[in-house]
Structure 1
Amino acid sequence: MTNLSVNLNKVALLRNTRNIGIPSVIDAAKTCIKAGAHGITVHPRPDQRHIRTSDVYELAAMLTVEFNIEGNPTPPFMELVRKVKPTQATLVPDAPEAFTSDHGWDLAKDSDYLKPIIQELHDLGVRVSLFMDPDLEQIQRAKEVRADRIELYTEPYATAFRDGNVDQIFPQYALAAQKAQEVGLGINAGHDLNLQNLGKFCSIPGILEVSIGHALTADALEIGLFNAVKAYLNLLPPE
């Protein structure tokens, strides 16, 4: 079964354009859960341009589904995770000024940095996922640093799908997922997945979770948030 974790960053981004608290991130989370979402994802960034620290605390206090916090494991991020203890921390190697996440970890150079961080997260009872490119050698290293899961960075897949070249890159993701399963890693996926490309991607065996925010929020503007969540759930493999 593939779970859907809805990323609420773009809901927060819209709210932050005015100082009246609309739309409410908390109400959006409640609607997603009511529609059947299996989890909620946030990616707080240092400039708090969308999700704010206060949002993270409020969500943690009310969620009845899995809570996934994404981010670069800087000291402020780690302090937030220590206080909240989410279900999952997805560690992403993005710079503070990054517009969006655009590459996975290079564990040939980052392993020693990540090992104690991953150990601390495990000690807190937090599942650890590493944001990764579909590179077989890097996936092997993700296991060696004791990650629980990887999140495959799917923007190249989404771009190829949009451009009509998906068959050239799809096998790379299928092999990456196979490698992850062989070494005992769970598989998540995210970045630019949408109603058009999600079904094909989830035909890859073993995808445990997809995290979707931008496209789902855009669809919600047309069909409503509840219906958008339902539409994505309908594309996921059943149990």
Structure 2
Amino acid sequence: MALLGVNIDHVATVREARKTNEPDPVWAASLAELGGADGITLHLREDRRHIQERDLHLLSQTVTVKLNLELACDDDVLKIACQAKPFQATLVPERREEVTTEGGLDAAGQGARVGDAVKRLRDAGIVVSLFLDPDPKQIEAAAKMGAQAVELHTGAYAHATAKFAGEDELAALTVAAKHIVDAGLTLHAGHGLTYRNVKPVAAIPDMCELNIGHSIIARAIMVGLEQAVRDMKRLISEPR
């Protein structure tokens, strides 16, 4: 059964909309754990649009499940990550103009930069995952530079509107997943996954971890965060 990492960025987004102290992503992490989350994911962006260094500092002391920090290959956030020492760091691409991460990291085209970030994080004792499109050359690059896991970018699958387009994207994810496992890397996936589309991705052979944020936080507004996490855990644990 795939593990569930709950991304709490959107809790911080609501807080930062008013520049106040609530809702607190630290409280959200506790509720997600009570709901059964296997990990807590947060993205410390270069522009600090939602998660702040204060959040990372407190979460690194209070989270009792796996803490997964998403970050770009930039020197300032790499320094912070190496000091905070989350269990896992997931390297992602980042642009200030984007609303959310728009695609996978170009590990093949930016090998030196990404490889240096991987080495710095691993030297600090942090497990390193790369957020990649389902592209064999990107997976091969990740394995060569010493990454320990790959999180497949599931956006194309999640946003496919036609039935057969979605099936094609799921097939591409399944093929890429086999490449990841065959390369000796741990298989993760995330981006755009919802209560309606998560089960086929959770059922991909050897799927270890799903990272989901927006859909869970959106449901939490209606039913509460603990219940929203329980609902998602139930879906990914059921057979396809």
TM-score (norm 2): 0.95
Please name the residue that 2:29 is paired with.
Answer: 29
Please name the residue that 1:137 is paired with.
Answer: 137
Please name the residue that 1:17 is paired with.
Answer: 17
Structure 2 residue 63 is the aligned partner of structure 1 residue 47? no
Q: Which moved more, 1:172-181 or 1:135-144?
A: 135-144
SS at match of 1:16: helix
CA distance in 1, matches of 2:46, 2:121: 20
Please name the residue that 1:74 is paired with.
Answer: 74
CA distance in 1, matches of 2:132, 2:17: 32
SS at match of 1:151: strand
SS at match of 1:47: coil
1:43-80 Cα deviation digits (max 9, x unpaired): 11122121111111011111111000001121111111
* Preserved contact between residue 3 and residue 209 of structure 2 (Cα < 8 Å): yes
> How far off its partner does 1:19 sit?
4.0
CA distance in 2, matches of 1:50, 1:118: 24
Please name the residue that 1:237 is paired with.
Answer: 237
SS at match of 2:4: strand
> How far off its partner does 1:158 sit?
0.2
Please name the residue that 1:150 is paired with.
Answer: 150
SS at match of 1:107: coil
1:189-213 Cα deviation digits (max 9, x unpaired): 1111010000011110111111111
CA distance in 1, matches of 2:105, 2:10: 24
Provide the aligned C-alpha RMSD in A.
Answer: 1.5
Please name the residue that 2:217 is paired with.
Answer: 217
Q: Which residue identity is paired with 1:52?
A: Q
1:118-162 Cα deviation digits (max 9, x unpaired): 1221111100000100011211111011100011111101011x4
SS at match of 2:18: coil
Structure 2 residue 201 is the aligned partner of structure 1 residue 201? yes
Please name the residue that 1:115 is paired with.
Answer: 115
CA distance in 2, matches of 1:125, 1:46: 22
Q: Which residue identity is paired with 1:25?
A: P
CA distance in 2, matches of 1:49, 1:107: 25
Q: Which residue identity is paired with 1:103?
A: G
* Preserved contact between residue 73 and residue 113 of structure 2 (Cα < 8 Å): no
Please name the residue that 2:168 is paired with.
Answer: 168
Q: Which moved more, 1:124-133 or 1:11-20?
A: 11-20
- Determine what percentage of the aligned residue pairs are the same residue: 35
> How far off its partner does 1:27 sit?
1.0
Q: Which moved more, 1:8-17 or 1:91-100?
A: 91-100
Q: Which residue identity is paired with 1:92?
A: V
Q: Which residue identity is paired with 2:93?
A: P
Q: Which moved more, 1:115-124 or 1:53-62?
A: 115-124
SS at match of 1:49: coil
SS at match of 2:220: helix
Q: Which residue identity is paired with 2:74?
A: T
SS at match of 2:64: coil
* Preserved contact between residue 10 and residue 214 of structure 2 (Cα < 8 Å): yes
CA distance in 2, matches of 1:72, 1:97: 14
Structure 2 residue 228 is the aligned partner of structure 1 residue 228? yes
Please name the residue that 1:6 is paired with.
Answer: 6
Q: Which moved more, 1:137-146 or 1:90-99?
A: 90-99
> How far off its partner does 1:99 sit?
2.2
